[in-house]
Structure 1
Amino acid sequence: MPTRRLILASGAAFGTMAALPALAQNADRPNPMPDVLREALERDPTSPVLGNPEGNITLVEFFDYNCPHCRKMVNVVQQIVSSDPELRVVYREWPVFGPGSEFAAQASLASLNQGKYWQFHQGLLLMRDRAEEPSVMRIARRVGLDEAKLRADMQAQNVTDHIANSAELADHMGLMGTPTFMCGDEAVFGEMSLKELRELVERGRKTLGVA
Structure 2
Amino acid sequence: MAPTLRTAFSALLGATVLATTALFSVVPAAAEMTEAQKAEMGAFVREYLIANPDVLVEVQQAYEKKQYESRISQAGPAIIDNRDAIFFDKNDIVLGNPNGDVTVVEFFDYNCGYCKHALEDMDTILKDDKNVRFVLKEFPILGPESVAAHQVANAVRLTAPDKYPDFHRKLLGGETRATEETAMAVATGLGLDEAKLRQSMEDQPNDTSVKATYRLANALGITGTPYYVVGNEPLVGAQGADAIEEKIANIRKCGKASC
TM-based fold match above 0.5: yes
Q: Which residue of the partner structure matches residue 85 of structure 1?
A: 130
CA distance in 1, matches of 2:229, 2:250: 11
In structure 2, what is the Cα distance between the partners aligned to 1:146 and 1:126? 22
Task: Report runs of 4+ in structure 1 exceeding 6 Å deviation.
Answer: none
Task: Tell whether the 8 Å contact from 2:78 to 2:219 is kept in structure 1 after alignment.
Answer: no
> Higher relative contact order by CA 8 Å / sep ≥ 6: 1 or 2?
1
Q: Which is richer in helix? A: 2
Residue 123, structure 1, aligned to residue 170, structure 2? yes
Q: CA RMSD in A?
A: 2.4
TM-score by length of 2: 0.67
**Cα separation, 2, equivalents of 1:153 and 1:87:** 31
Q: Residue 204 of structure 1: CA displacement?
A: 3.6
Corresponding position of 2:242: 195
2:85 aligned residue (19, 40, 49) = 40
Q: For 1:65, what is the secondary structure of its paired residue?
A: coil
* Structure 1 gaps, min length 5: 10-17, 21-30
Q: How many residues align?
A: 190
Q: In the alignment, is residue 164 of structure 1 matched against residue 208 of structure 2?
A: no
Structure 2: which amino acid aligns with 1:128?
A: E
Identity in percent: 34
What secondary structure does 1:144 align onto? coil
Note if contact 1:62-1:93 (Cα within 8 Å) is conserved in structure 2.
yes
Q: Which residue does the alignment assign to 1:145?
A: 192
Q: How far apart are the structure 2 equivalents of 1:155 and 1:201? A: 39
- Higher strand fraction (1 or 2): 1
Aligned to 2:229, the other structure's residue is in SS state strand
Give matches, 1:24-63, under 5 Å: 33-34=79-80, 36-63=81-108
For residues 61-91 of structure 1, give each alpha carbon's deviation from its aligned partner in whole angstroms, at most 9, with x where no partner exists: 0000000000011121011011111100111
Farther off after superposition, 94-103 or 193-202: 193-202
What secondary structure is seen at the aligned counterpart in 1 of 2:206? helix
Amino acid in the other structure paired with 1:103: A
Deviation at 1:150, TM superposition (A): 1.1
CA separation of 1:118 and 1:94: change in aligned 2, threshold 3 A: same
Which letter does structure 2 place at the counterpart of 1:154? Answer: M
Larger Rg: 2
Matched residues in 1 for 2:202 and 2:93: separation?
17
The TM-score with structure 1 as length reference comes to 0.81
Kept in 2, the 8 Å contact 1:32–1:185? The answer is: no
Q: Report if aligned partners of 1:184, 1:205 keep a CA contact under 8 Å in 2.
A: no
